Amino acid sequence: MAKDRIVSATEQVEDAPASGTETPRSMRPTHLDGFTGQAALRQRLRIALDAASQRNEPMEHLLLHGPPGLGKTTLAHVVANEMESRVFVTSGPALTRGSDLVGTLTRMQPGDILFIDEIHRLPVSVEEYIYPAMEDFKIDFTLDSGMHAKVVTYQLKPFTLIGATTRAGLLTSALRSRFGISHRLDYYEVEELESILERAMGQMELSAITPDARVRIAERSRGTPRICLRLLRRVRDFAQVRNAGRIDAAAVTDALELEGVDELGLDALDRAYLRTIQKIYKGGPVGLEAIAATMGEDSGTLEDLVEPYLLQIGHLARTRQGRQLTEAATAWLDGQS
């Protein structure tokens, strides 16, 4: 499936925590000083954390939005560690009823963190419980219905809500306005990804890796740490079996060629998308539905998983008439043929 592509920023099974000493989760930084990239956000968080600590109060509610794989979940755990508090993790789709939220909030102690991933998918009925909890640290829960209905008010301990979303535009204005800090995470530069690789290599005890190999992995990671670490694991396995454990530029190229990832970080689906527009539709403009029908893919998959990176590297333009290849994309495709 498209979501299981090696260059997909969506979390996959191999990215989740597992048993053993070397897990993807263990490669994540635990404190703000160890977090790479997102310099503006780190400064804002440092000020907010220090101010909250001096006042002995929870930090303001925080909304993190941006593409997947850039560190929103990691930052939630970093904030919890900085505040020396616990973090309760859930997601919008998992909170189907108000009682689900009440159960979590009433267990929390002062200063604890509630992290809600995919917060844009909260049901309206649950979102209404969030408002008084965020503003007044209380929650009203209705028991029974009709003439026997009774409203019970729970007084909550002061906490910090951290919401994460890849679709900030789908949040209601009422919910968005209740976050004291809102920040969009940006794609990472190659140099920042190299720093992340260095840290990961130390934890994976990888010493036989050349600097140019590190650069090549970073360049093909689509500006996303999650993809970067995933590619590193694949290259490590390839080098162990085919290159006596040494990770050099040639090993990176061969390993990722085997995975279908080229020097731009594009995979077979990306290239098929570009070639469809070039060969079938003469470079565009063409509608997304027409491209999807020609490729036999779902239009939502192309829009969410393929187009963002092509737009980022300047190979695709969205016009009123439809999708169109840029001159850079045309020149690159001509060079590939």
Query: What's 220's domain CATH number?
Result: 1.10.8.60
Which of the four pLDDT bands, split at 50, 70 and 90, describes residue 13? low
Mean pLDDT of the chain: 88
Find the mean pLDDT for residues 169-190.
92
- Residue 226 known to be catalytic: yes
Q: Are residues 52 and 171 in the same domain?
A: yes
The last residue of a domain, from among 209, 236, 258: 258
Which has the higher per-residue pLDDT, 289 or 204?
289
Question: pLDDT tens, 215-251?
Answer: 999 999 999 999 999 999 999 999 999 988 889 999 9
Alpha carbon distances (Å) from 222 to 9, 187, 264, 267: 9, 8, 8, 11
Cα distances (angstroms) measured from residue 259 to each of 5, 187, 256: 9, 23, 5
Of residues 102 and 159, the one with the higher pLDDT is 159
Pick the catalytic residue: 165, 166, 224, 276?
166
| Residue 166 annotated as catalytic | yes
- Classify residue 54: in a domain, yes or no: yes
Examine residue 31 and state whether it is found in any structural domain, yes or no: no
Q: Which of 226, 234, 236, 323 is catalytic?
A: 226
Instruction: Output DSSP code: residue 265.
Output: S
**The predicted structure's pLDDT at residue 87:** 93
Pairing, β 316-319 against β 322-325: antiparallel
Q: Is residue 24 part of a domain?
A: no
The number of distinct structural domains making up the chain is: 3
Whole-number pLDDT of residue 149: 73
CATH code: domain of residue 319 = 1.10.10.10
Question: Using CA atoms, how far apart are residues 282 and 284, in angstroms rounded to an integer?
Answer: 6
The residue with greater pLDDT, 20 or 6, is 6
Give the range of the structural domain holding residue 149, as residue numbers without chain letter: 38-184
Per the residue annotation, which of 5, 28, 72, 222 is the catalytic one?
Answer: 72
pTM of the predicted structure, to 2 decimals: 0.85
pLDDT at 106 (0 to 100): 87
According to the model, what pLDDT value does residue 204 have? 83
Same-domain pairing of 161 and 285: no
| pLDDT for the residue numbered 184 | 94
Q: Is 23 a catalytic residue?
A: no
Catalytic entry in 15, 112, 117, 267? 117
Q: Is 117 a catalytic residue?
A: yes
Give the span between the Cα atoms of 108 and 293, in whole angstroms.
49
Quick one: 225 and 124 in the same domain?
Answer: no
- 36, 73, 160, 165: the active-site residue: 73
